[in-house]
Structure 1
């Protein structure tokens, strides 16, 4: 697992207010789960994909935190299981066609949810990453493992 080479702290709860719905996982079966590892910036927490009301939701847990240094951060699904290990430091840039953007990151910290469109085949994606589009830098990533 790569170690952060910067001395910058990851975000704290005061970094950006979160105006998002609470996680839905308590009543929903978990399909996939993973833990974030550092990329260009410290990133921590868990991610899971659950089925809720016929749809699929990507959830970041309460422990999720990443650097506030990103001007253009997105939550993406990536085709490779080890985004950090298969890309080059320090930015860990990704290649077009290897990922799909779900949505802009809503908050640097805490629980948050993102809908996964029905036209996305989860069998084609093996990880979740927090990615800075402007600088093509992967802040952190989590390999998705099947649950159940």
Structure 2
């Protein structure tokens, strides 16, 4: 019986690896066009994103540091947390939200008050969150790191400035 299970397990492992092996050369092949040193129009258009708003994080329930910037890239808006971003890993359900107040509340009573951009991707380092086109950024004054399970604001960054001041802050 154990021999049959071993054979079945080996056959399953072999069959599940076939699609990966068959796709490997095409997925990783480098064509001569990829090695060209000439600039392509796509590369020429890939400029630095234009920052419109930015702010530095402040602690609320937990120490939170770094900078939040709202940038526009190829007609889409993103919230970018910089490489210096750091918050506590004590929250089981952290989210990134836009809030209408410069200083968000410690706890939220009304879920229609904020816009949830999604779960925090990681506790530190650079990360990006798309901002839906329907969101009017003029209605929001801060970005907050919020624990949905505990209903606690970990930290927040008041948003201000313009593209020129955001570039000055980044230097």
Q: TM-score, normalised by structure 1?
A: 0.76
Residue 101 (structure 1) shift: 0.2
CA shift, 1:114, in A, is: 0.5
Give secondary structure in 1 for the equivalent of 2:57: strand
Cα displacement (A) at 1:145: 0.3
Unmatched 5+ stretches in structure 2: 1-46, 165-171
Q: Distance in 2 between matches of 1:95 and 1:78?
A: 13
Q: CA deviation at 1:82?
A: 1.5
Quote the Cα distance in structure 1 between the aligned partners of 2:77 and 2:98: 13
Aligned counterparts, 1:15-54, within 5 A: 27-54=48-75
Per-residue displacement from partner, 1:58-107 (whole Å, max 9, x unpaired)? 00001000000000000000010112xxx3xxxx1123222110010000
The whole-number CA distance in structure 2 between the counterparts of 1:65 and 1:50 is 20
Larger helix proportion, structure 1 or 2? 2
CA distance in 2, matches of 1:95, 1:111: 30
Check whether the contact 1:30–1:48 (CA below 8 A) recurs between aligned residues: yes
CA RMSD of aligned residues (A): 1.1
Correspondence for 2:108 among 90, 94, 100: 94
**Secondary structure at 1:142 match in 2:** strand
Moved over 4 A (4+): none
Aligned residues: 116
User: Whose strand proportion is higher, 1 or 2?
Assistant: 1
Provide the rounded CA distance (Å) in 2 between the counterparts of 1:39 and 1:81: 13
1:80 to 74, 91, 101: 101
Rounded Cα–Cα distance in structure 2 between residues aligned with 1:120 and 1:112? 20
Larger RCO, structures 1/2 (Cα 8 Å, 6+ apart):
1
Kindly report which structure 2 residues correspond to 1:1-148, keeping only aligned pairs within 5 A, or say none: 27-83=48-104, 87=105, 92-96=106-110, 97-147=112-162, 148=164
- TM-score, scaled relative to structure 2: 0.66
State how far apart, in whole Å, the 2-side matches of 1:142 and 1:71 are. 21
What 5-or-longer segments of structure 1 have no aligned partner? 1-25
